Structure 1
Amino acid sequence: MALGDLLAPIGLPLLRALDAERAHGLTVKALKAGLGPTARSDAHPALALEAFGLRFPNPIGLSAGFDKNAEVMGPMLDAGFGFVEVGSITPKPQPGNPRPRVFRLPADRGVINRLGFNNEGAEAARRRLEAFRQERPAAIVGVNLGKNKDSADAAADYRIGAEKLAYVASYLVVNVSSPNTPGLRALQSVDDLRRLTEAVRDARDRVVTGRPVPAVLVKIAPDLAPADEEAIARFARDGGCDGLIVSNTTIARPDGLADKAKAQETGGLSGRPLFRRSTEALARMAALTDGAVPMIGVGGVGSAGDARAKLAAGATLVQLYSALVFEGPQLIPRILDGLARAD
């Protein structure tokens, strides 16, 4: 048993007592220091699967937002995840929005954030991913790409991100669905998506040699109008991208939230309150694409039952993040054990 396995049950209550963003920063430092928990990602061979030209040891992944700067891919894979996704990463470093910008809703098992793509930029991520690939070349690490807040040319930003990071990525994500960068969600129009994905694919094809090219996925919001969902489904079905991630956080506030004061904070809502909305969006996109487009289901997953619901709605793979805030890293093997028993 690793030291992190012993410390995790003690550390979680202490972290909850801190400001949410400070707690996250301390968690990343602890993981970098080797204090993370351990669980085998391949403990249940029946859960292994192939998608996007990759062999996943299990279908449960860490969503973007946790490891924004590609600092703890190894420790999170060692905690049991079948894959991790880093970012969102922008071409240039940027501080994000003013603090406070992350708010826990404990009674609702939810989180609101308005971070605004705070990260150290593509060059810093490239250096870390390059070093990681020397040690673990076969590990599955997706790279979530974003645009800088002050950029006037979104396609150029996504192109730069792909140029710097495609050769160390297992797959690439065009993130146009965060609610915390002004104008970003407007890029979910099909004309804009086509321009962005073509820029990413062109850059990818020029820099990736000697190995399979990483798939290009698009991450969408759960708040799209029906006509927009239909247009994106046609775009994906016609080969405009290799897959979809459904979904990002929501700007909606469902009825019945217990923490009504924090619920009024601006930003994207994730965690349990997002589960129904994101799963319904996933099911709609699966139906609209006739099941022909691989999808990653994300939003509110906190149990094996939640993961099964995402898979039943049409997901090939499942991601989570917010539930770790409340359940801790022991959640990952619990979900895998539950999925294995269901099989």
Structure 2
Amino acid sequence: MDLFYEKILRPLFFRLGPERAHEYGRNFLQTLSTVQPACRLLAKFTQGRGESIELAGLKFPNHIGLAAGMDKDAEFVPAAAALGFGHVEVGTVTPKPQPGNPQPRLFRYPEHEAIVNRMGFNNHGMEAMGKRLRRLPAPGKRIAPVGVNIGKNKNTALEDAASDYLSCFEHLVDLADYFTVNVSSPNTEGLRELQEKDRLLEILGGLEERNRARKAGTVPIFLKIAPDLTFHQIGEILEVVAESGVAGLVATNTTIGRDSLPAGREYEHGGLSGSPLQLRSTQIIRFISRETGGKLPLIGVGGIHDSASAAEKLDAGAHLIQLYTGWIYRGPFFARTLARSLRFHRENW
């Protein structure tokens, strides 16, 4: 099926503009998601059998997750799980709906198996997401855990950003298996400044304070970081993580760097994802794992395009991995293919 997609279907999809192709794919997955019995049946064949990964108090049926940015509004969670994903991260969601940046804002570079996006947190807002998540089984009873990636609205000042993250958390906390705090997208002006130590501690500390006060128990909160940070900056973030008590890290988001692409041509500005990000994201995962003794829950993202690059992330110290660009280039059942290969890899560690 993966080969059929790459040879037949992908060339047809790539004749369309990137956002139009995404819309067609999203519409199909939305339709599939409405037939939840079919999704559950399909999941029996695509999910790992007898395999379970425990991380941050949650159980995952396999190592492979769908990264945030693909299903921004929680519109096709059942379909993603049916296609073999062991967890689905939806969002980034903001308190209020917003259209994102002007089009065009999504660009393919097939010769590098890469994508550049400058979407800008386009989403329907936390209330719309809440309505969709309520249609799913409750947390802990789903085919695969659902994470909610949260951000701030474009027009919210940086000094008020903590309130946006807290609003999303409070509105969706009963509906999420875990949260990811997104302060690392390059496509919202000034957002990455929230990775600075004091600002980050305000956001994460406030979330965890509210999290610990819940009578229903805490929900794991992860932090997603940029690949463009220095190791010194990452070290400071690890101090904030330890002080705030958040569950773990997602490494990494897209990069604004172009050093991993051939020189001599101009590239669109925005966040670069795909194969060119593979090396840098793995370096960061390895650094975090070494600095924390492998004890900090870590989800690896960036440049995963085959079984070897997926295994590389686990060998570097990631406990789970996520796909975005690799799914676009490799096809709908790529998660199933990787999950099976990683199960074999895991048995031979």
CA separation of 1:223 and 1:256: change in aligned 2, threshold 3 A:
closer
Q: Of residues 185, 190, 195 in structure 1, which corresponds to 2:202?
A: 195
- Asked if structure 2 preserves the Cα contact closer than 8 Å seen for 1:8 and 1:329, the reply is no
Q: Deviations for 1:183-212, whole angstroms, at most 9, x for unmatched residues? A: 110110121111111222244455x554x4
Q: Does 1:250 align with 2:261?
A: no
User: Which residue number corresponds to residue 25 of structure 2?
Assistant: 27
Q: Does 1:70 align with 2:59?
A: no
Structure 1: which 4+ aligned runs deviate by more than 6 Å?
6-9
Give TM-score scaled by structure 1 length. Answer: 0.91
- Asked if structure 2 preserves the Cα contact closer than 8 Å seen for 1:283 and 1:314, the reply is yes
Q: Alpha carbon RMSD of aligned pairs, Å?
A: 2.4
CA separation of 1:205 and 1:124: change in aligned 2, threshold 3 A:
farther
Q: Does 1:232 align with 2:230?
A: no
User: Which residue number corresponds to residue 154 of structure 1?
Assistant: 161
CA separation of 1:93 and 1:320: change in aligned 2, threshold 3 A:
same
CA separation of 1:136 and 1:312: change in aligned 2, threshold 3 A:
closer
Q: Deviations for 1:264-312, whole angstroms, at most 9, x for unmatched residues? A: 2110000000010111111111122222211000001111211111111
Q: Which runs of 5+ in 2 are unaligned?
A: none
Q: Of residues 282, 290, 295 in structure 1, which corresponds to 2:293?
A: 290
User: Which residue number corresponds to residue 181 of structure 2?
Assistant: 174
The 3-state SS of whatever aligns with 1:228 is helix
Q: Does 1:309 align with 2:312?
A: yes
Q: How far, CA to CA, are the matches of 1:302 and 1:233 in structure 2?
A: 28
Q: Of residues 267, 280, 283 in structure 1, which corresponds to 2:270?
A: 267
- Asked if structure 1 preserves the Cα contact closer than 8 Å seen for 2:138 and 2:175, the reply is no
Give runs of aligned pairs for residues 199-238 of structure 1, distance below 5 A: 199-205=206-212, 209-210=215-216, 212-238=217-243
Q: Tell me the percent identity.
A: 42
Q: How far, CA to CA, are the matches of 1:204 and 1:16 in structure 2?
A: 43
Deviates more, 1:15-24 or 1:126-135: 126-135
Q: How far, CA to CA, are the matches of 1:22 and 1:50 in structure 2?
A: 37
CA separation of 1:89 and 1:259: change in aligned 2, threshold 3 A:
farther
Deviation, 1:337, is 2.0
The 3-state SS of whatever aligns with 2:134 is helix
The letter of the residue matching 2:82 is D
Q: How far, CA to CA, are the matches of 2:309 and 2:5 in structure 1?
A: 27
Q: How far, CA to CA, are the matches of 2:161 and 2:138 in structure 1?
A: 31
Q: Which runs of 5+ in 1 are unaligned?
A: none
- Asked if structure 2 preserves the Cα contact closer than 8 Å seen for 1:41 and 1:57, the reply is no
Q: Deviations for 1:18-60, whole angstroms, at most 9, x for unmatched residues? A: 11011111111011122999453533424x2100111111011
Q: How far, CA to CA, are the matches of 2:150 and 2:124 in structure 1?
A: 13
CA separation of 1:335 and 1:290: change in aligned 2, threshold 3 A:
same
Give runs of aligned pairs for residues 32-181 of structure 1, distance below 5 A: 32-34=30-32, 38=42, 40-46=45-51, 48-133=52-137, 137-138=141-142, 139-152=144-157, 153-181=160-188
Deviation, 1:213, is 2.3
Give TM-score scaled by structure 2 length. Answer: 0.89
